[in-house]
A and B are shown apart, each in its own frame.
Chain A
């Protein structure tokens, strides 16, 4: 991928040595990451990899106990308000307020981002139109389908013209058609506004299709980083060098992940504590 690197313009997100522990659980354990301006960056990993915790540090929901997080150069630990003004955030749960209409849900976010009364209605209208919810805007959100709620949340995030859109598992629990719909809207909005998108998912196929670059996260750390094609070709070449036939199909992102997760497991060979915490995670994730 070619890209103009301008040293004066900071990256959209940089994490260096970010760590966050819940008691014994090392949810994020030395995360290094940079998201370039204008790209769709996918943070990938299975349940419990630490994606949500990392996102919550970047969004200022959690403190940054160790390491450094910067959003467009602003320090997430020191300049929280400054960072929040740059962000649109869609959390993992479906989080629209069911007792309000779609329009009221979006208007609330316009108000808490200080959109002036003069342009509020029009801005809200544009955000709803951008996600194709104009017709459903005056219905209560509790009548929406899962895919519609996700799009509504996208409108809530867009109404403040964020420079960085952060989506945590935007397609989790949606049917395949709704998933495609959500991705198409993310892409259309990104194309039209040029905003940077940081998205987490555990669906490797979606990341392969929709992300410019991905980071494979396992046990609190990014274990591999690159464009999906780079990662897949890299593994393919290594396998051929190890004697796989040249006719073998290109490995999928899932193969790449299994490859790095395997080595990740090796270098931290499981003592009992690891086994226990993995089991606890499995219980919590369900």
Chain B
């Protein structure tokens, strides 16, 4: 595109001064730099919002804390679940971290319908941002938000005496796992948003799927103790792979971290594709 200056001023209004930059359209970024730029912009906004209002981080820490405190400590004592010699609270901590990150991500897709109703989404759609870049940006913003939540739960778990790794490389892996998982779950809810359109219906569906995703995973118990049909569910549930990776990285349990990463990456890409192709429906 040519970079001709905007139309020259026809009159000088004394009320508006120092507007030289507002006369010059910015130079468009090269194609490949557009996606990281948009992802950066959306993630920054998410961090700014969290900085202005931290209450959600705190209130959403209560539930995982209760899971670890009550369920974790009780089941550690009664040793009902085979964990391969790991104290039960250590075994479930990665599951609870994954669960709280998933809740944030699924709720994030509901937020996008709210943004649509408020006109915020429409305005972003009228910027030079391809739909896939907008969805990717939003998905990574959900990842950032989930990551902060996951950090809070990690701290709670550490305080409750869970033996976590402090190996920086493994923690980097944890970060990647949580972000990829949240990219998938936020895209899942944005995809459903693109199908059902209305906020109330999405709210209902969101609530209806979070618990089955949680219980139909290895977050609380190993897949081997599940009945056959639940094993099948668990094996196609990306949350299981997220939990498996977190367990391997955080508490050194036996895990298939490479496979987990591959599955989460493919799931995230599929999620972005599906949500992007349905975004147009939300704009109507």
B25 in contact (CB, < 8 A) = yes
Q: Which residues of A contact B13 (CB under 8 A)?
A: 187-189, 191-192
A44 to B100, CA, bound (A): 50
Is the CB–CB distance between A191 and B11 below 8 Å? Answer: yes
Identify which of A81, A85, A161, A187 contacts B22 (C-beta below 8 A): A161
Q: Which residues of A contact B21 (CB under 8 A)?
A: 119, 122-123, 126, 161
B78 in contact (CB, < 8 A) = no
Q: Which residues of A contact B118 (CB under 8 A)?
A: 93, 95
Name the distance in Å between B121's Cβ and chain A's nearest Cβ.
Answer: 9
Is the CB–CB distance between A188 and B15 below 8 Å? Answer: yes
Is the CB–CB distance between B26 and A112 below 8 Å? Answer: no
CB contacts under 8 Å to B, within A82-119, are 82, 84-85, 87, 89-97, 99-101, 104, 108-116, 119
CB contacts under 8 Å to B, within A227-278, are none
Is the CB–CB distance between B10 and A112 below 8 Å? Answer: no
Is the CB–CB distance between A100 and B9 below 8 Å? Answer: no
Size band of the interface chain B makes with A: 35 or more
B28 in contact (CB, < 8 A) = yes
A140 in contact (CB, < 8 A) = yes
Q: Which residues of A contact B41 (CB under 8 A)?
A: 108, 111-112
Identify the interface centre among A108, A184, A188: most chain B CB within 10 Å of its CB: A108
B284 in contact (CB, < 8 A) = yes
Q: Which residues of B contact A108 (CB under 8 A)?
A: 41, 44-45
CB contacts under 8 Å to A, within B87-134, are 117-120, 122-130
Is the CB–CB distance between B16 and A192 below 8 Å? Answer: yes
CB contacts under 8 Å to B, within A108-165, are 108-116, 119, 122-123, 126-127, 129-130, 140, 153, 156, 158-163
CB contacts under 8 Å to B, within A202-237, are none
Name the distance in Å between A264's Cβ and chain B's nearest Cβ.
Answer: 26
Q: Which residues of B contact A81 (CB under 8 A)?
A: 128, 130
B283 in contact (CB, < 8 A) = yes
Is the CB–CB distance between A100 and B49 below 8 Å? Answer: yes
A110 to B26, CA, bound (A): 9
Name the distance in Å between A196's Cβ and chain B's nearest Cβ.
Answer: 8
Is the CB–CB distance between B128 and A84 below 8 Å? Answer: yes
A51 in contact (CB, < 8 A) = no
Is the CB–CB distance between B6 and A97 below 8 Å? Answer: no
Closest Cβ neighbor of A58 among chain B residues? B126
A31 in contact (CB, < 8 A) = no
A25 in contact (CB, < 8 A) = no
A92 to B18, CA, bound (A): 29
A187 to B53, CA, bound (A): 36
A34 to B190, CA, bound (A): 37
Name the distance in Å between A38's Cβ and chain B's nearest Cβ.
Answer: 6
Size band of the interface chain A makes with B: 35 or more
Identify which of B29, B38, B126 contacts A59 (C-beta below 8 A): B126
B201 in contact (CB, < 8 A) = no
A82 to B122, CA, bound (A): 17
Is the CB–CB distance between B9 and A192 below 8 Å? Answer: yes
A146 to B120, CA, bound (A): 16
B7 in contact (CB, < 8 A) = yes
Is the CB–CB distance between B284 and A62 below 8 Å? Answer: yes
CB contacts under 8 Å to A, within B172-215, are none
Instruction: Give per-residue flags for A69-91: 1 if the beta carbon is below 8 A from chain B beta carbons, else 0.
Output: 00000000000011011010111
A173 in contact (CB, < 8 A) = no
Q: Which residues of A contact B127 (CB under 8 A)?
A: 84, 109, 112-113, 160
Closest Cβ neighbor of B133 among chain A residues? A112
Is the CB–CB distance between A193 and B9 below 8 Å? Answer: yes
Name the distance in Å between B55's Cβ and chain A's nearest Cβ.
Answer: 11
Identify which of B16, B49, B123 contacts A188 (C-beta below 8 A): B16
Closest Cβ neighbor of A140 among chain B residues? B52
Is the CB–CB distance between A99 and B26 below 8 Å? Answer: no
Known pairs A95-B122, A116-B26, A130-B19; A111 contacts B9 (CB<8 A): no
Q: Please list the 6 inter-chain residue pairs (A to B) with the smallest Cβ-Cβ separation, ordered nearest first.
A: A95-B119, A93-B119, A194-B7, A111-B41, A192-B16, A91-B119
Please, could you name 24 A-B residue pairs with CB atoms under 8 Å apart, sorted by A?
A: A37-B7, A62-B283, A81-B130, A87-B126, A89-B123, A93-B118, A95-B122, A100-B52, A108-B44, A111-B37, A113-B128, A114-B26, A116-B27, A126-B20, A127-B22, A140-B52, A161-B23, A162-B6, A184-B15, A188-B16, A189-B13, A194-B7, A194-B9, A195-B7
Interface residues of B (CB under 8 A from A): 1, 6-13, 15-29, 34, 37-38, 40-41, 44-45, 48-49, 52-53, 117-120, 122-130, 283-284
